[in-house]
Structure 1
Amino acid sequence: MEQGVLQLTLTWDGRRIVAAAVASTRPAAARALRGLPLERALEVIPRLFGICRFAQEAAARLSVCAARAERSAVAATTLAAALAVALEAIGEHLWRLLLDWPPLCGQAARQSEFLRWRKQLLAVDDAAAA
């Protein structure tokens, strides 16, 4: 899928933001979302791109809350989203450090160590969801 560009323009009156506009050149993503009910679009967004699924979802949900000026929803969404995004980022870094980098340095990938860490990250996520 073509990545395209997402451009955010803010209008500042000297004290605060008074307007915001978003322009996207992500035609495939736009086509996939066009006409969908909001809840369905929020389900689809994390699946559109292959990386950072939780970050994509968090950004979409927080954008909706911000657009609706739902401050309490932003606060509630932020904590859960922050944990999901942090766990996702840790997992991605561990992937690179333990699986991708060792072969680049002439060493074997550390798959069993990565899998142990992955299991621990999933346990943290499960505990937070409970």
Structure 2
Amino acid sequence: MTYARPLCSPRLVARPAPALPVARLVVGKPVETAADILPRLFNLCRAAQGAAARLALGLPLAEGWRETLRHEILRDHLMRLFLVWPARLGMGAGAPPAGWERDAGVVARAVFGPAARAPATPEALTAFLGSGHGAAPVLVRIGDAFGPGAACAELPLVTPEAALTPGAVENSVAARHAGHPALRTLAARHGRGPLWRAAARLYDIAACLEGTLPAPLTPAPGVALVPAARGLYAVRAKARDGRVAAFARVTPTDHLLAPGGVLEQSLAALPADRTGLAPLVLDILDPCSPVRLEEADDA
């Protein structure tokens, strides 16, 4: 690493909302009913959850599922880049580019500027960040707000095996693109912090536009892994006589909130004079369920 960790304060802790008892809600239901229920229980990542449930239960995927999943992931990234993060940074809340649902060129130009493609090399990413084009100003503000080493988390990247257990691993969009040369260099210079995570959305947007998102995996009977807007979504299920006999899901947020996980490490690595940036850290990490930040009781 070429960065130095800043002096940090561990005073902030995350208090997640209680998790829904998903297994209790679907076990015993007919498999088709259960597969329909799961996406309706949650506002986010409905397409990913529906696809994972159907694959794990041995059901055919819905017609057009691939385009629906791509649309879901793309929408989430555009909302972060053009609405959520600019508002949090005091840049004014915008909106995803008009017509993004229908025209890939509109998205490419809005995000990447005149080049209309993601920076392919470390040098190209540096040039893009200095260009003022597309999403670059938002990313530059994120980088300036934190600085190298701040709010970083260094954890093993998620694997198909680790995806099925809610432990402390890096299960995020950044994990999906961690091998990209530009992101590897960014991580070496700044750490796996807010800028690295935010910039990874560029490459996931490119994957959405180019049709190169990872395909869902079914590594074993009753197991499904599906790419989602926040990382890799996992479901393990069993059916008996047409009804759900067992069900478990592990989301990117489960990994994010695990003890010693990305959120805990990121808050611990937030400089003591920048704890006011904690809500922005949370916006960038993007848990799919409510999380409250509090000062730890040192007593």
TM bucket by the smaller chain? 0.5 to 0.7
AA of the residue aligned to 2:98 = R
Q: Name the residue aligned to 1:127.
A: none
Matched, 1:87 2:87: no
Aligned with residue 108 of structure 1, among 75, 79, 92: 92
Residue 116 (structure 1) shift: 2.1
Residue 48 (structure 1) shift: 2.0
Q: TM-score, normalised by structure 2?
A: 0.26
Residue 32 (structure 1) shift: 1.0
* Correspondences of 1:42-81 after superposition (within 5 Å): 42-65=35-58, 73=60, 77=61, 80-81=64-65
AA of the residue aligned to 2:65 = A
Structure 1 distance, partners of 2:71, 2:63, is: 12
Residue 78 (structure 1) shift: 8.4
Q: Are the aligned partners of 1:102 and 1:110 in contact in 2 as well (CA < 8 Å)? A: yes
Structure 1 distance, partners of 2:80, 2:69, is: 17
Q: Are the aligned partners of 1:102 and 1:108 in contact in 2 as well (CA < 8 Å)? A: yes
Query: Unaligned regions of 5+ residues in structure 1, if any?
Result: 4-25, 122-130
Q: Name the residue aligned to 1:37.
A: 30
Q: Are the aligned partners of 2:86 and 2:93 in contact in 1 as well (CA < 8 Å)? A: yes
Residue 95 (structure 1) shift: 0.8
> Kindly tell me: are residues 94 and 60 of structure 1, through their superposed partners in 2, closer, same or farther at Cα, counting changes over 3 Å?
same
Superposed CA deviations along residues 87-120 of structure 1, whole A, max 9, x for unmatched, are: 1000000111111111233211113xx2724653
SS at match of 1:120: coil
Q: Are the aligned partners of 2:47 and 2:72 in contact in 1 as well (CA < 8 Å)? A: yes
Matched, 1:2 2:2: no
Residue 57 (structure 1) shift: 0.1
Structure 2 distance, partners of 1:106, 1:97, is: 13
Structure 2 distance, partners of 1:78, 1:40, is: 14
AA of the residue aligned to 2:18 = E
AA of the residue aligned to 1:120 = R
- List 4+ stretches of structure 1 deviating above 6 A: none
Q: Are the aligned partners of 1:98 and 1:109 in contact in 2 as well (CA < 8 Å)? A: yes
> Kindly tell me: are residues 79 and 35 of structure 1, through their superposed partners in 2, closer, same or farther at Cα, counting changes over 3 Å?
closer
Q: Are the aligned partners of 1:62 and 1:78 in contact in 2 as well (CA < 8 Å)? A: no
Query: Unaligned regions of 5+ residues in structure 2, if any?
Result: 1-16, 104-299
SS at match of 1:116: coil
Q: TM-score, normalised by structure 1?
A: 0.55
> Kindly tell me: are residues 115 and 31 of structure 1, through their superposed partners in 2, closer, same or farther at Cα, counting changes over 3 Å?
farther
